[in-house]
Chain A
Amino acid sequence: MSDVTHSENTASAEPIIICRKVNKWFGEFHVLRDVTVDVMPREVVVVIGPSGSGKSTFIRCINRLEEHQEGEIIVDNITMGHDIRNIAAIRREIGMVFQQFNLFPHLTVLNNVMLAPMNVRRWSKEKAEQKARELLDRVGIPEQAEKYPGQLSGGQQQRVAIARALAMEPKIMLFDEPTSALDPEMVKEVLDVMKEVTSSGMTMVCVTHEMGFAREVADRILFFDQGRIVETGTPEQLFDNPQHPRTKLFLSQIL
């Protein structure tokens, strides 16, 4: 934990996500190796790294879509364990956006956004609908509320997915390569929404290959390789002056 550098704007508060020596295996394959990282409230952490380096697995462990086998993950003062109530409580506070959007195809856009607040937060239909319309407005597609996801473009779908995650009023947002499945024309609209979300002061962990975006919004960048954090730092440190040879190699290949 000691080697983690905190960004300056969160120094005073308790970390909201604490990972200590997290290890995970898929069968015999060691995916995560001693991942140790803290995320402070309102901090934006961007995770980069080559394919298969365990970035997605790491982010999925944070809301326990994957179970880690060793180590400790504490989110919002709740320790991840086998207790189902804990998991449900944590997931309520964490919104997640997937690479493949994973919208519910049988529900309209509006119902996609309203479903979880009504059933998990037990909001009234009126309240949920009001919130949903507000969020659809915020992500820029208020006019699509009655359509089905299949009728929208990829970029619009991903924006709906972001609205759906925000509807639960989470404390943390996880983005798992949100722009990787999009046509190049649509990447910008999604990144714009994500920037807007970061500017509202949301804690955010984002796996992405959009280096421009990472440089612009990240407070801190984690570079993953072979299941471990190789290097971390502010965007300036990492992009302009990478220390580790693996980081250098990676950056030289993608930039």
Chain B
Amino acid sequence: MTTAPDLFPRTTGTVYEEIPARPAPMLVSGPLAWMRENLFKSRFDTVLTIVTTILLVVFTLALANWVIAQANWLVITRNLRLLMVGLFPIDQVWRVNLAVLFVAFALGYSIYAYIRVSRFVQAALIGLVLTMMVVPAASALLFSTPPSFLAVGAVEVQSGTISELPQPRAAFLARQGDTVRFEIALDALNDTDLVGMSGFMDRAASGVYNAARARFRTEAEIARLDALLAGDTLTERQRAAAQDSRDGLSMPEETTATYQVNTESISIRILDGATLAQVSSAVLDIAQARDAQAGERTNSGQPIEYPVYEFVAPADGWYVLEKSLPEGSETVGILDVRGIPPILERNFTGYNEYVRITDDFTVVGGRPMFEDSQIPFISMTDNLYRGERSLPDYMSLFAGPILALLGRGLIPFIGLLAVGYGAGYALVQLRPRAPRNQSAHAPARALVGPLWAVVLTLFFVLIYGVNGYSTLDFAFMFASFAWVGWMFFAGITLNRASWGRPLFASVALTGIAQVVLLHGDTSDNVSGILLGSLVWMTIGLLAARQGYINSQRFSFRESVIGFGVSSLIWLALFLIVPLLLNAASSLGLIPALAQENVIGIVETRRWGGLLLTMVLTVVAILASFPLGVLLALGRRSSLPLVRVVCTLFIELVRGVPLITVLFMAQLLVPLINPGLANVENAIRAMVGLTLFSAAYLAENVRGGLQSVPPGQDEAARALGMGSIQITLFITLPQALRAVIPALVGQCIALFKDTSLVALVGLLDLTGMAKSITAQSEFVGTQSETYVYITVVYFIVSYFMAFISRRIEASGSGAVRRFG
């Protein structure tokens, strides 16, 4: 039987020794090895790496050059408010700020609940805050505002076809303590010096500058043509043309000589902007200056007395600089002025505003008048300084102000993010009872939903507003909320201690007294008082009941803390705040309380910028979510009519471009029903976006529903669950979790798609950018504006994508499949 060849000779069994686990070997070590491994693995890889590097470097350099040297970022600094909140009334902007801070708090809290923030992100945020704090302060400290050059005299300055007469007066804004330094521009002794000047000028000074510049250009052109004609590289026709051009040109006279720049003394008077009363005056003696300069050249030992005049502003406000040469003088003087920041006049928002570029000092109203006409103010005349600025000028005029302005918004935002984050941390420290194998941060998650509900409600209430509420009313209203919380904690104590019942009774009575008092105070009719009191009492009792039910979940310490905190809040809101407000109003610090309309309604047509973009996005997302889910369920319904209607809607909307939907909402709706013509544009855009988004969302959700295995439905049915229960508890949660990436992608797409509302006349971020670049003072700054909104869109989209990636990674969004 054993004739078969012994292919597998039997060996004796062996028991192997245990081998301990070792760490994996490092395959790559050192930067050179890393580069060899990752960048230059093969010849093809090397070529690709080099080409990519070159492209990257070229692009980065070009961009940096443009950003630093070419771009005029004033368009952003000056219009930042418009880009952020649109035409929101200036005195109401605090509401938007407050609402955004609430959102920042909620964001910080949610981030704590769901996401590990890496040290890198923390460091980046801290770095950002420091940059925004340090750079403006440092650039204000280190670099003074560059000089402005002003022309003086009664001579018309020719600049091309335009002739300018130096203005005898110029208005400027100064803040108390600002030092303004006037000096004769001694540098401008010849044309080269004139061309070397750059800075903010009035038009006549600019004319002198341009004339000097033109002379040099002509000179260069003549030299070029002479060289050409002297050589023998030209054809006959070219030679004739060049000769023609040469004959048309003649060497102009020196500009400084033509206008006799800086040959006479300049008198300066500073007048008060409102009364035109003289505040101060001086004469800058040019002869003395020339002597001094000559002295400096020959004899450097002597101290030089420059004719300098310094003016210290006694108060904030308008001042008028009056400058003149001696009577009958036929010359032009150039004044070198330091310490007057350029001003912009704006009336884009319906307010006439004058804003200093460097520090955003804003004055609303009119500017100084002389003989019934407005006095021109010192401003930049054009963008001639582009690319010709030194770094200090760049820092003091651009980088400093823009960072200071951004920081004013972003630093509180980041601060509140941190506070929200800390609140989550504090909560987890207070109730460290995470169930096993859940993240330690999980207890914080329970409050994320309610927190957002409250924050978003507050957000919309603050932005849209409520008419007829005084500060006092709000204090009392929040006192009622605080009372409800108080009742909750009183409810906890009911059954736990001997003093629970008396405590509960006293809290309840306090609240009832409060409710009755308040409604007696604010309502006129008895039924209103009764109804309001009943509603609040019911809510309070429900809260107490809930506290009683949940009493086992709170430790003694927690219930005491909760009770104490809610009592303090109630006391503060019901007693202290009204007392303070009353005191303030009786002292005349704030307007009478009864008439105050703290957050009056702000019509949606005044919403704009990023605010409108975000509101449109959030409303469309919130509204389209339930609608989309219903449509998805409807499309999978077994009822044919429901199915057909849902399918028809989805396919119809998906088959039409968004812009069409928006135009339909804007234009066709009033035709369908004239009553709808009064609906505000922004609301119609919201409806259009919602319907559009719902159709796409429905398809995403349907995909998710299809991905739920049929076994899930069977298991739920076998347990006796009804179809609504199955949808709510089994199918939908799994379907939605499966499509989170698609849903977030859709949110981001929707956020970007809101820019289309600019085409139907809304001033969202894009619409605002369009109308900003249409302002005459910012003509030609489309690049800067669109680069800016690109960055804003990118940051918000990237933030959304980042959050969604982290939520998916954190597992709470992941579908946990078997195996």
Which of the residues B721, B815, B817 comes within 8 Å of A116, measured between beta carbons? Answer: B721
- B714 CB contact (under 8 Å) in A102, A115, A119, A161: A102
Q: Is B737 an interface residue (CB 8 A)?
A: yes
Whether A168 and B720, one on each chain, are in contact in the complex, defined by CB atoms closer than 8 angstroms, is yes
- Pair A150/B817 contact, Cβ less than 8 Å: yes
Interface string of A157-170 (1 = CB under 8 A from B): 10001001100100
Q: In the bound complex, do residue A104 and residue B720 qualify as a contact, i.e. CB atoms below 8 Å apart?
A: no
- Please tell me if the beta carbons of A104 and B715 are within 8 angstroms of each other in the complex: yes
Q: Is the CB of B729 within 8 A of A115?
A: yes
Tell whether A105 pairs with B720 under 8 Å between CB atoms, given A98-B715, A146-B436. no
In the complex, B711 has a CB within 8 A of chain A: yes
Q: Which chain B residues numbered 716 to 741 have a C-beta less than 8 Å away from chain A?
A: 716-722, 725, 729-730, 733-734, 737
- Assuming the A-B contacts A91-B720, A105-B734, are A119 and B725 also in contact, with contact meaning beta carbons closer than 8 angstroms in the complex? yes
- Judged by a CB distance under 8 angstroms, whether B119 is at the interface is no
Query: Is there contact, CB below 8 Å, between A103 and B818?
Result: yes
Q: How far is the CB of B442 from chain A (nearest CB, A)?
A: 10
Contact B816 A91 (CB under 8 A): no
Contacts of B716 in A (CB 8 A): 104, 116
Q: Which residues of B contact A157 (CB under 8 A)?
A: 818
Interface size of A by Cβ–Cβ distance < 8 Å?
33
> Does B819 touch A at the CB level, under 8 Å?
yes
A156 and B819 CA atoms in complex are apart in Å by 11
Whether the Cβ atoms of B720 and A116 lie closer than 8 Å is: yes
Judged by a CB distance under 8 angstroms, whether B675 is at the interface is no
Across-interface contacts of B527 in A (CB, < 8 A): none
- Bound-state Cα–Cα, A154 to B730, Å: 21
Contact B717 A91 (CB under 8 A): yes
Within 8 A of B (CB), among A96-113: 96, 98, 100-106
Pairwise interchain contact A102-B712, C-beta atoms closer than 8 A:
yes
Interface bits A188-209 vs B (CB < 8 Å: 1, else 0): 0000000000000000000000
User: Which residues of chain A come closer than 8 Å to B435, judged between CB atoms?
Assistant: 146
- Would you call A239 an interface residue if the criterion is a C-beta within 8 Å of the partner chain's C-beta atoms? no
Bound-state CA distance A98–B818 (Å) is 14
Whether, in the assembled complex, A234 has its beta carbon less than 8 Å from a beta carbon of chain B, the answer is: no
**What is the minimal beta-carbon distance from B408 to any residue of chain A, in angstroms?**
44
Q: How extensive is the interface on chain B, given as a class?
A: 20 to 34
Please indicate which of the listed interface residues B435, B716, B818, B819 has the most CB atoms of chain A within 10 Å of its own CB: B818
In the complex, what distance in Å separates the CA atom of A91 from the CA atom of B716?
10
Taken together as a complex, chains A and B put the C-alpha atoms of A95 and B716 apart, in Å, by 11
Residues of chain B within 8 A (CB-CB) of A100 are 711, 818
Question: Does B438 have its Cβ within 8 Å of any Cβ on chain A?
Answer: yes
User: Do A150 and B818 contact each other (CB < 8 Å), given the known contacts A106-B734, A120-B720, A168-B720?
Assistant: yes
Q: Is A78 an interface residue (CB 8 A)?
A: no
- Do residues B712 and A104 form an inter-chain contact, with CB atoms below 8 A? yes
Q: B818 touching A101 by the CB < 8 A rule? A: yes
Residues of chain B contacted by A92 (CB below 8 angstroms): 720
Q: Which chain A positions have C-beta within 8 A of B437? A: 146-147, 151
Judge whether A148 is part of the interface by a CB distance below 8 angstroms. yes
Residue pair B815, A65 in contact (C-beta under 8 Å): no
- B418-444 with Cβ < 8 A to chain A: 435-438
B434 to chain A: closest residue by CB: A146
Instruction: Tell me if A63 counts as interface (CB < 8 A to partner B).
Output: yes
Are B719 and A120 closer than 8 Å at their CB atoms?
A: yes
**Known pairs A98-B718, A103-B715 / 20 extra A-B pairs, C-beta < 8 Å:** A91-B719, A95-B718, A96-B718, A98-B715, A100-B818, A102-B715, A104-B712, A104-B715, A104-B734, A106-B733, A119-B725, A120-B725, A146-B437, A146-B438, A147-B437, A150-B819, A151-B437, A151-B816, A154-B818, A157-B818
Top 5 closest pairs, chain A to chain B, by CB: A150-B816, A102-B715, A116-B719, A96-B718, A91-B720
List 13 interface pairs A-B (beta carbons < 8 Å), by A numbering. Answer: A88-B720, A98-B715, A102-B711, A103-B715, A104-B716, A105-B815, A106-B737, A116-B716, A120-B720, A146-B435, A150-B818, A154-B818, A157-B818
